[in-house]
Amino acid sequence: MLTVDQLHQLLHFRYATKAFDPSKQVSTEEQNALLESLQLSPSSFGMQLWKFFVVEDRSVREQLKSESWGQGQVTDASMYVVLAAETNIDEARIDKWLTQLAKVQGAPIEKLAPYKEMLSGFVNNLTPEQQLEWTKKQVYIALGQLMTSAALLEIDTCPLEGINPVAYDEILGLKEKGYTTAVACAIGYRSADDHHANTPKARFPLSEVIETI
Amino acid sequence: MLTVDQLHQLLHFRYATKAFDPSKQVSTEEQNALLESLQLSPSSFGMQLWKFFVVEDRSVREQLKSESWGQGQVTDASMYVVLAAETNIDEARIDKWLTQLAKVQGAPIEKLAPYKEMLSGFVNNLTPEQQLEWTKKQVYIALGQLMTSAALLEIDTCPLEGINPVAYDEILGLKEKGYTTAVACAIGYRSADDHHANTPKARFPLSEVIETI
């Protein structure tokens, strides 16, 4: 779909955008495409233990900004997405996944009994802390796919880890919904003033980050 | 670079490939492009607390397979990459990053003193367990970018979480190198026999995974 050179260009196009142009909006069509990139992201067992909160309300954005070291991306970017991990991974949640799987495959759910046993065994073997660590890592795959997908549409992003997840959960009412904030992502178009766009990437050389065995 | 429709196709092209065609190899040029997608992946503060081990040695691949529930992807895929998180995040590691940053920016490292203080404060505020959780999550961003990038080149992938990371670390000698296994990824071309290629995706509807606030 792309040549190696085009992929190279794409990877260099993306950078953590510090200043967004608040006047430039991501089109509805492109917004939907980016939400689909989240929906179709790979996850452990395909269970999709996540939810993505698109914050459009300006006053909520302002509240989140004050829980994000005042970073302007929270309010200036066209889209602001909070990527959240699901917190209650119980029998019912496993059944919800198996019901979806059986429906799509057009097979009776009973056929999935051995798979269910395996899944339950895996999940129940984790402490609540390990479960959360596991689900949050899945959310980061979605973050990666989202940022690369946006770059493909020549849309800029900035991942935000420097946020107060406890405050985010409160502001967005996530706890009652069964989720907790993992990370956030601002999406839009770089401001002409963002000098970071022209700063060369400070990556370690390939010889340091790759080792062949 | 892509249209919304092309992105949609790309997202549907990708699936967790269960059976690879062992006779089909990823070209050297494409391998390098995929390694660059790892190298250029975003990470917290840009610190790149990771290393990617490309396992070419067939006997090592066999050993890893037996620590991966015998999954055939480990040996059948053209490339097998173990994505590892760095374990010793000390003052020296922070300095290594700042040295790289100063070099690329052509600025004296002394100018980065306030940034160094902030970084040290952040890192030292984490317990060793929290540090590792943090670095592993970064590795998952790279995993996401890698899989999306491969799909762009019409190359298949399968992420492998069902592996024994302790055994992986021993087989690859990662502990002595200052790394620990986070996740692995098989990369190559789907086998014509892989019926999973034609199974519809069992994603929950957008209305369930996206919420607008």
pLDDT exceeds cutoff 90 at A195: no
CATH of domain A4-209: 3.40.109.10
The answer to whether A118 touches A211, Cβ cutoff 8 Å, is no
The secondary element (H helix, E strand) that includes residue B83 is strand B79-86
pLDDT exceeds cutoff 90 at A197: no
Q: From edge to edge, which strands make up the β-sheet containing B210-212?
A: A156-160, A179-188, A79-86, A50-54, B210-212
Q: Render A85-142 in DSSP notation, one character per residue.
A: EE----HHHHHHHHHHHHHHHT--GGGGHHHHHHHHHHHHTS-HHHHHHHHHHHHHHH
pLDDT given at position B28:
97
Task: Give the pair of three-digit tokens for residue A178.
Answer: 């069964």
> Could you tell me the pTM of the whole model?
0.94
Task: Give the pair of three-digit tokens for residue A50.
Answer: 């996540």
Chain A hits for B12, Cβ within 8 Å: 40
Q: What angle do helix axes A91-105 and A113-124 make, rounded to 10 degrees?
A: 150
Largest CA distance in chain B: 59
Q: What is the mean pLDDT of chain A?
A: 95
Mutation target among A48, A204, A207, A208 for the B interface, most CBs of B within 10 A: A204
pLDDT given at position B106:
87
Quote the distance between the C-alpha of residue A64 and its chain's center. Answer: 17
pLDDT given at position A178:
96
pLDDT given at position A21:
96
Q: What residues contact residue A100 under an 8 Å CB cut-off, 6+ apart?
A: B202, B203, B204
Give the 3-state secondary structure of residue A81: strand
Contact B2 A1 (CB under 8 A): yes
Cα–Cα distance between A42 and B14 in angstroms, integer? Answer: 9
Residues A40-67 as b/e (b if ≥16 CB within 10 A, e otherwise) read bbbbbbebbbbbbbbbeeeebbebbbeb
Mutation target among B104, B141, B183, B187 for the A interface, most CBs of A within 10 A: B141
What architecture is domain B4-84+132-187?
A: 3-Layer(aba) Sandwich (3.40)
Residue A136 forms contact with B (CB below 8 Å): yes
Asked if the interface predicted TM-score (ipTM) of this complex is over 0.90, the answer is yes
pLDDT given at position A206:
94
pLDDT exceeds cutoff 90 at A40: yes
The answer to whether A172 touches A54, Cβ cutoff 8 Å, is no
Residue B13: count other Cβ atoms within 10 Å of its Cβ. 15
What Cα–Cα distance (Å) separates residue B166 from each residue in B162, B179, B181?
12, 11, 8
pLDDT given at position A20:
97
Residue B33 forms contact with A (CB below 8 Å): yes
* pLDDT (tens place) for every residue of chain B, 213 residues total: 899 999 999 999 999 999 999 999 999 999 999 999 999 999 999 999 999 999 999 999 999 999 999 999 999 999 999 999 999 999 999 999 999 999 998 888 889 999 999 999 999 999 999 999 999 999 999 999 999 999 999 999 999 999 999 999 999 999 999 999 999 999 999 999 888 888 889 999 999 999 999
